[in-house]
Amino acid sequence: MKRVILLCLALLLVQGTAFAADSIKIGLMGPITGPWASEGAEMKQVVQLLAEELNQKGGLLGKKVEVITEDDGGDPRTAALAAQRLATQGVVAVIGTYGSAVTEATQNIYGEAKIIQIANGSTAIRLSEKGLKYFFRTCPRDDEQAKVAAQAIQKMGSKRIAILHDNSTYAKGLADETRGLLEAAKAGEIVFFDALTPKEQDYTTVLTKMKSVQPDIVFFTGYYGEAGLLLKQAKQMNWKVTFMGGDATNNPDIVKTAGKDAAAGFYFVSAPLPKDLPSDEARNFLDTFTKKYGNPPNSIYAALAGDGFRVITQAIAETKSTDPAKLADYLHKDLKDFPGLTGKISFNEKGDRVGEVYRVYRVNDEGQFILQP
Amino acid sequence: MEQFFQQLTNGLAVGSIYALIALGYTMVYGVLKLINFAHSDMFTLGAYLGLTLLTSLALTDHIGPLWGTVVLALMVMGLVAMVGALLDRVAYRPLRESPRLSAVVSALGASIFLQNTVMLIYGARYRVYPHDILPRVALDVFGLQIPLVRILILCASLTMMAMLYIFIQRTRIGTAIRAAAIDQGAARLMGIDVNRVILMVFLVGPALGGAAGLMVGLYYGQINFTMGWGYGLKAFTAAILGGIGNIPGAMLGGVLLGVVESLGAAYLSFAWKDAIAFCVLILILIVRPTGLLGERVAEKV
């Protein structure tokens, strides 16, 4: 009798899982806690909003889309565990994550489990140089960004250039790449090249040192939190120099930290902001996001995570399949100029996004980010 | 030469904050032989409570920036002290008779708990203090540009350290704290209520940590729920550098660490800033294993 009951229970369980498989699962791996928790929270908001919209329109292939969120903590070790958890839950694809080093720790786990990974903020060059079939990213690469940054520095006619990074994979990569390009172009002299320690709040030491070598421009490749403090403390030291940042400084919080007077005149390189895109997709999306959460998204990477979700659901709808090999083929070859939130999206054979280039922005006196021609 | 002095003042400013936080570590260690990992979160809590009180009460509008800040500091210190006492009651007191390791694990747990509580209440984004509370002028001292606020911070932390020193050396309860630090059992035999001493330590230490958090918030403006980690680590290092358990040692260690860091970074390399600071720590510990002012500790058998 006991055996019969056990058998029944087992059958029920099997049926239970079969029932659950009736939805298409998409993983979201993001920094929900840890130093980048604000980006992670927005990534989750964006992807969930898009999934809700999709489900209201009837879902995918007649099934509901279910988003499973795992926290990578902004930390490679936590991320590896998160990736393993997602891999065992039968997700078709994973969106994320933000930091390059964090993504790198999970690439092989997803690759071996044949799960498509679409990173949204990992711009380090080497991530897509490993020949991984299932790896994609909606953000451009650092070499692309360095090119635009170096051009902008040359265009401003700067002769004495200081480059400051924060020793993270991303910031150091961007700094090295930019230095290489500037040296190759023989454009000016690199008078300072060093790293600060992120999350410290006092950067007067490094500013005092930089001031003493008298650069025309300081290119800081780290994140917005530190950039805001650098601007504020430079202002307090009465040091008037042009600051420029990489795309990790693209966040309105930089103006809040620095104050409008100190942030004015700050340049940064970034993928275009949603507000500067003429496409209807972006505008509609911004409206619904603002309506639901009360403010437009702060971080461009949240929008890029949304684009990751949109391309993978597009691929599933077009191929009428959840077979990773078919989906990867579709994304590599057949997806051309897909109207994303951040512009047109196509992928090359490495899984890198092509076509879209970085822009240069400048902060005006009101603290707004103005696209530079 | 001008750069040297400028960097020296930079180092002093950061060092005085390390010193304030280090006092909390060293006092708890002195009495309980426990490293209170949750102390760095008292610092974070001070910064966040300061922001809340500042924006909700608008004291600085009513009674002027200087007195407003003083009242604010007292309120923050009081509140953080209460949280500190509560922390002791909930996380450490039940483990008083257990092995030391249990209390350390409990401290780590409390730290994670507090950090995430702050994140859940205030959110993960950077929060920013209003920009116009304290005057943003820089004083010209012998050709050096030193922001006024920086001088105020240095004075405030030196005053607090001096008051603590007098409190520990000259008052009855201070004497009791010193006695409990030397030998808890003997102190108890002399009629000292050790639990009250420990409560006192958990009121004073967190209050100073909270004050440091408020100062960082007021001066640097940007606060984040993970900010305690970096400062806490440096302050802990400073406490060891000066000789853990020794109060003047924590002050000396903090200031010294700040100065070594900024001079080392300025003249060697910024990317190696922390490495330089920790190398100095290791060198000092090789020469003086008990820290700069630490007394020789005989192993109790």
Mean pLDDT of B67-83: 93
Query: What ranges in chain B are assigned the alpha helix state H?
Result: 2-32, 39-57, 59-63, 65-87, 100-122, 148-170, 172-182, 184-189, 194-220, 227-242, 247-267, 273-287
Q: Considering chain A, what is the average pLDDT of its residues?
A: 88
- What are the residues whose beta carbons fall under 8 Å from the beta carbon of A165, sequence distance 6 or more? A171, A172, A174, A175, A194, A195, A196, A220, A221, A222
CB contact under 8 A, B3 and A201: no
For B2-17, what is the mean pLDDT?
89
Kindly report, residue by residue over A154-212, the tens digit of the pLDDT.
998 888 999 999 988 889 989 999 999 999 988 789 999 999 988 888 898 899 999 99
Which chain A positions have a beta carbon within 8 Å of B262's beta carbon?
205
The string of DSSP codes covering B33-52 is: ----TTHHHHHHHHHHHHHH
Better-predicted residue by pLDDT, B213 or A157? B213
For B220, the closest of A41, A202, A298 (CB atoms) is A202
| Residues of chain A found within 8 Å of residue B136, distances taken between Cβ atoms | 236
The confidence score (pLDDT) of residue A16 equals 46
Q: Which residues of B touch A256 (CB under 8 A)?
A: 126, 128
Q: Could you tell me if A44 and A32 are in contact, meaning their C-beta atoms sit under 8 angstroms apart?
A: yes
Contact B35, B29 (CB under 8 A): yes
pLDDT at residue A9 in the model:
54
Residues A59-93 have pLDDT tens digits of 899 899 999 999 999 899 999 999 999 999 999 99
Residue A4, pLDDT above cutoff 80 = no
What pLDDT digit, counting tens, does each position of A230-286 carry? 999 998 888 889 999 998 898 888 998 898 889 999 999 988 776 776 678 888 888
Q: What percent of chain A has pLDDT over 90?
A: 57
CA A85 to chain centroid, in Å, comes to 22
Domain B2-299 falls under CATH 1.10.3470 = yes
* Residue ranges covered by each domain of chain B: 2-299
Across the interface, whether the CB atoms of A208 and B269 are under 8 A apart is answered: no
- pLDDT at site A1: 56
Evaluate if residue A17 carries a pLDDT over 70: no
Q: Find, in chain A, the residue whose alpha carbon is nearest to that of B11.
A: A205
Token reading at A53: 């919209």
Q: How many angstroms separate the first and last alpha carbons of chain B?
A: 53
Amino acid A236: pLDDT: 84
In angstroms, rounded to a whole number, what is the distance separating the alpha carbons of residues B270 and B276? 9
pLDDT at B167 > cutoff 50: yes
Q: Across all residues in chain B, what is the average pLDDT?
A: 89
State the DSSP string of A264-311. TT-EEEESPPGGG---HHHHHHHHHHHHHHSS--S-HHHHHHHHHHHH
Is-cis flag, bond preceding B44, omega within 30?
Answer: no
pLDDT at A119: 95
Residues of A in contact with B215 (CB under 8 A): none
- pLDDT bin (cut points 50, 70, 90) of residue B149 is confident
Residue A16 makes CB contacts below 8 A (sequence gap 6+) with: none
Q: Is A71 in a helix, a strand, or coil?
A: strand
- Asked if A199 lies within 8 A of B116 by C-beta distance, the reply is no
Residue B139 confidence (pLDDT): 76
Neighbours of A166 (CB within 10 A): 23
Helix boundaries (H) for A88-168? 100-112, 142-155
Structure tokens at A224: 């917005």
Average pLDDT over residues B198-213: 94
